[in-house]
Structure 1
Amino acid sequence: MSAGDPDGPHVESRNAVAALMLRARAAQAAFADSDQARVDEAVRAMAWAIYKPEHAEELARVAVADTGLGNVPDKIDKKQRKTFGTLRDLLRVKSVGVIEEDPAQGIVKYAKPIGVVGAVTPSTNPGATAANKAMMAIKGRNAMIVAPSPLGYTTTARAVDLMREGLAHIGLPEDLLQVLPQPVTKHLTQAMMEAVDLVVITGSQDNVRRGYMSGTPAIGVGTGNVPVIVDETADLDAAAAKIAQSKIFDNSTSCSSENAVVIVDAVYERAIAALERAGAYLCAPEKKADIEATLWHGHKLNRHLIAKDACVLARAFGLPAEAESARFFLVEEKGVGPDFPLSSEKLSLVLTVYRARDFADAKDIVRRILDHQGRGHSLGIHTANMDRARELAADLDVVRVLVNFAHTFAHGGSFDSGLPFTLSMGCGSWQKNSISENLNYRHFLNITHLVTPIPEKRPTEAELFGPHWEKYGR
């Protein structure tokens, strides 16, 4: 190959991935016939490698140092809580042999491995996301190769190393888990996507689209821009405390963090006061333009302010000195769409506030926010009226409607909700995703259906066509 050959990076990338694939195939073949007990040993070993307090702290410190995103205490909590919850979910289910029987239909389902999974992980959660996907992949008796965000490479690679050590400690092949070598380029990531048996992508929408175009079965996730409604029946202090807890967690690195709160007019002032008691600082209307100009450069978020501490934002926005002690910031807005950047995802401790005439107006505002950005992802409501929650679920194009939750914690699985623990949320066809649920272990399995005869269930022509004949004739 000549110097400057444009095919050079492609050939080098394919060769590098081919070497990883050889090791992954060998490791997966050695693991593929493991029984359920052995598989669960592997998942436990990997989980402990991440959950172990000194490891969780190490990964959190490296992540903040390398990416500049979030904060150490919350990243420790995130790694431990997500790992613990995922382990709970995985130990409750079968992934080997017969996993489901339906005698009435004559169907028995057998779980089989997919093979080698390629996982693309983001800079916002470089350790937790890799661990979460790896545990699910190994639960399915697969191998996995991780393509980290370049910004989060050191953290992801260290997380993979810790899990490899955990596997080796119990006598399993380390190469069940591998990470792409540095530098992780688009060519290298693309080569991995094309070589593996399944691609699971969390991160940029560019990577999601590339995954779907790779020719490999792919699961991607969508953009978040979560709006939550506070209506006149809500417990305002409880709602404010949950919104605050969720908004400030890891400095809003999560796509599940509230980006807008829509408050009905009847309780608007009282709800704002409750949010202020929970640590919010309400920015003066005349500061709105400065905040927008500072938080966005052109049409892109200012990377120097994403997921930064509140005091950093207060100084950057030119807010009064007392704002530096706030936990997060409220900015009032009326518009929605491209000309109103505060209606978009912010990945920062800035919460946009809308005042709605009533619930119907609040519902309309939320619909417009989601149509602008985040359609398919999720929304929340704080209410004592479940009919309103059911109406939102029936009428709006989202995968998840959360009722009276701290959104960040419940959306990706919690101990007081039935959603599975994950860091990857499918948004359905609304964001051109292949799944409309939380990524979970079932997505890492092939299923064989054993089908046996059952008593015939053949209806008559009249039973099927009768209504049509009666209404329209034969």
Structure 2
Amino acid sequence: MTTADPIAADIADVETIVARARVAQAAFESGGSQEKYDRAAQAVAWAIMEPARNKHLAELAVETTGLGNVADKITKNHRKTLGLMRDIADAATFGIISDDPVTGITEIARPIGVIGAVVPSTNPGATPANNIINALKCGNAIIVSPSPKGVPTCEALLGYIYAEFDKLGLDHDLVQMVPGRGSKEKTQRLLEVSDLIVVTGSQNNVKRAYTSGTPALAVGAGNVCVIIDETADLEAAAQKIAASKTFDNATSCSSENSIVVVDEIYDAFVAEMAKTGGALITDDSKITSTLWVKGHLNPRAIARDASEMIEALGLTDEVPADTQYIAVETKGIGPEFPLSGEKLSRVLTVYRARDFDAAVGITRKIQLHQGAGHSVGIHTADDTRPLTLATSIPTSRVIVNQAHTFATGGAFNNGMPFSLSMGCGSWGGNSIDDNLHWKHFIQSTKIVREIPPREPSLEDIFGDYWGQVGK
């Protein structure tokens, strides 16, 4: 290829910014301290949380991607970042982080180097900010590769970050983005030459990350299913599901896509949904014929405000004027039944189950179809039932009596780390089953000293075994 080749030029551009990031990271590490790393993280957090900037980033995101709504993106940018800063406030990420005289091991925190982060158009401000904060907290440099529609928001975010960096004398090259409009070639090269890849969004990008030859942290597809059983507080469950389903117009991978309602309380729960703006459609063909166009989700309905989505689905005269989301009854699960999958819209699929055991079976089938490893939920007063879900379904999280969108990625009233990227374990084809957080952005060196030997006898290890089965 010659330098006139645009693809070769794009690849060269990526290699250039990675080289600059390596220089900046080396200096950041060699002159590092816990205070310096913490201040860098705080700079990025304030860059997105400062109210005027937050509002601008939220408006820009909705304007350029057409996804979500401004008020909820402002909330997301603020709360996700505030929660993350709470999580990392006391985390030791520089120097000696443990020194154990019993084992003789001293552990020293070390940065990974240059992080390559691929981020989706659904959260073009909050997700890159989250990744950047985690990277800097651990002494790394980071290069973000936004989706094409997310480029303007990411550019604005970096501008705000640089303004804060200038107050601290930090090198802009610690935080960069793939130049120009995104392309597969540029993203692929970033995957190949970074020290660690973090991928949120497209499962195609996830697969490319895992085959790039670079260590990768990637997340699986969401397709949340939530059970409402006969013991649940129906009013509270309906309110939480409505708040969660409609938040940022269902752009989150943690948004409920299906609910399974036990037959005993089905009619009562439908009535509670109606009170929260959930309009039930009993003919699922009305939705499948309009929510999908030529096999793809209708762009006029994806992540849109309720009125726009309802118009796109041709339901304006069929649902109440105050409808906030559509609940559609169906029975089918699998590739031939698209309502059983992720819908990225204010459309909630409703399944009816004869009892709790049947509800678990339906939920398991949905997860095996799509969303395995991500998360499921339950509204119940029976403390034993979450454990049943946890041991019966291929999932990394069981969310109990909470608004799923807010709870899965960390909340101030639960113990999950604040994150916009949820690992799905081997069930979802991922290397992690945690919420992506700061511990994934750091490695360590161990100093190993000699200690008094601790060698057991064979009797210590096998005594009980021999006593049971003989030698």
Q: TM-score range by the shorter chain?
A: over 0.9
Supply the distance in 2 between the matched residues of 1:248 and 1:274 (Cα, whole angstroms). Answer: 16
Where does residue 34 of structure 2 map in the other structure? 36
- C-alpha distance after superposition, 1:129-173 (max 9, x if no partner): 010000000001110111000011111121122112211221111
Supply the distance in 1 between the matched residues of 2:168 and 2:2 (Cα, whole angstroms). Answer: 47
Measure how far apart 1:231 and its partner are.
0.8
- C-alpha distance after superposition, 1:249-303 (max 9, x if no partner): 00000000000111111111111111111111112x23x2121121112432222
Where does residue 300 of structure 1 map in the other structure? 296
Where does residue 126 of structure 1 map in the other structure? 124
SS at match of 2:397: strand
Where does residue 399 of structure 1 map in the other structure? 396
CA contact (8 A) 1:165 1:174 kept: no
Q: Is 2:307 the partner of 1:311?
A: yes
Aligned pairs (5 A) from 1:169-208: 169-208=167-206
CA contact (8 A) 2:373 2:424 kept: yes
* Structure 2 length-normalised TM: 0.96
1:302 maps to amino acid: N
Where does residue 328 of structure 2 map in the other structure? 331
Kindly tell me: are residues 117 and 323 of structure 1, through their superposed partners in 2, closer, same or farther at Cα, counting changes over 3 Å? same
Q: Is 2:101 the partner of 1:100?
A: no
- C-alpha distance after superposition, 1:400-445 (max 9, x if no partner): 1111111101111110111111111100111211111000111111
Where does residue 362 of structure 1 map in the other structure? 359
Supply the distance in 2 between the matched residues of 1:185 and 1:244 (Cα, whole angstroms). Answer: 37
Match of 1:450 among 442, 447, 452: 447
Where does residue 286 of structure 2 map in the other structure? 290
Supply the distance in 2 between the matched residues of 1:167 and 1:2 (Cα, whole angstroms). Answer: 37
Measure how far apart 1:93 and its partner are.
0.9
CA contact (8 A) 1:310 1:324 kept: no
Measure how far apart 1:468 and its partner are.
4.8
Supply the distance in 1 between the matched residues of 2:194 and 2:305 (Cα, whole angstroms). Answer: 39
Q: Which moved more, 1:292-301 or 1:19-28?
A: 292-301
Measure how far apart 1:235 and its partner are.
0.8
CA contact (8 A) 1:13 1:191 kept: no
Where does residue 58 of structure 1 map in the other structure? 56
Supply the distance in 1 between the matched residues of 2:69 and 2:85 (Cα, whole angstroms). Answer: 24
Measure how far apart 1:2 and its partner are.
6.0
- Aligned-residue CA RMSD (Å): 1.6
Supply the distance in 2 between the matched residues of 1:98 and 1:244 (Cα, whole angstroms). Answer: 47
Measure how far apart 1:218 and its partner are.
0.7
Where does residue 214 of structure 2 map in the other structure? 216
Measure how far apart 1:105 and its partner are.
2.7
SS at match of 1:184: coil
1:219 maps to amino acid: L
CA contact (8 A) 1:282 1:329 kept: yes
Supply the distance in 1 between the matched residues of 2:2 and 2:93 (Cα, whole angstroms). Answer: 49
SS at match of 1:15: helix
- C-alpha distance after superposition, 1:167-193 (max 9, x if no partner): 122111111100111121100111111
CA contact (8 A) 1:10 1:191 kept: no
SS at match of 1:330: strand
Kindly tell me: are residues 103 and 328 of structure 1, through their superposed partners in 2, closer, same or farther at Cα, counting changes over 3 Å? farther
Q: Which moved more, 1:371-380 or 1:99-108?
A: 99-108
Kindly tell me: are residues 300 and 457 of structure 1, through their superposed partners in 2, closer, same or farther at Cα, counting changes over 3 Å? farther
Q: Is 2:346 the partner of 1:346?
A: no
2:237 maps to amino acid: A
Supply the distance in 1 between the matched residues of 2:130 and 2:181 (Cα, whole angstroms). Answer: 23
SS at match of 2:173: helix
Where does residue 259 of structure 1 map in the other structure? 257
Measure how far apart 1:470 and its partner are.
4.8
- C-alpha distance after superposition, 1:68-117 (max 9, x if no partner): 00100001110011111111111121111122344433333211011110
Supply the distance in 1 between the matched residues of 2:372 and 2:159 (Cα, whole angstroms). Answer: 37
Kindly tell me: are residues 135 and 351 of structure 1, through their superposed partners in 2, closer, same or farther at Cα, counting changes over 3 Å? same
Supply the distance in 2 between the matched residues of 1:394 and 1:108 (Cα, whole angstroms). Answer: 37
Aligned pairs (5 A) from 1:264-283: 264-283=262-281
CA contact (8 A) 2:105 2:446 kept: yes
Percent sequence identity over matched residues?
50
Supply the distance in 2 between the matched residues of 1:105 and 1:268 (Cα, whole angstroms). Answer: 57
1:257 maps to amino acid: S
Measure how far apart 1:46 and its partner are.
1.1
CA contact (8 A) 1:123 1:152 kept: yes
Where does residue 378 of structure 1 map in the other structure? 375
Supply the distance in 2 between the matched residues of 1:138 and 1:2 (Cα, whole angstroms). Answer: 36
CA contact (8 A) 1:164 1:175 kept: no
Kindly tell me: are residues 386 and 158 of structure 1, through their superposed partners in 2, closer, same or farther at Cα, counting changes over 3 Å? same
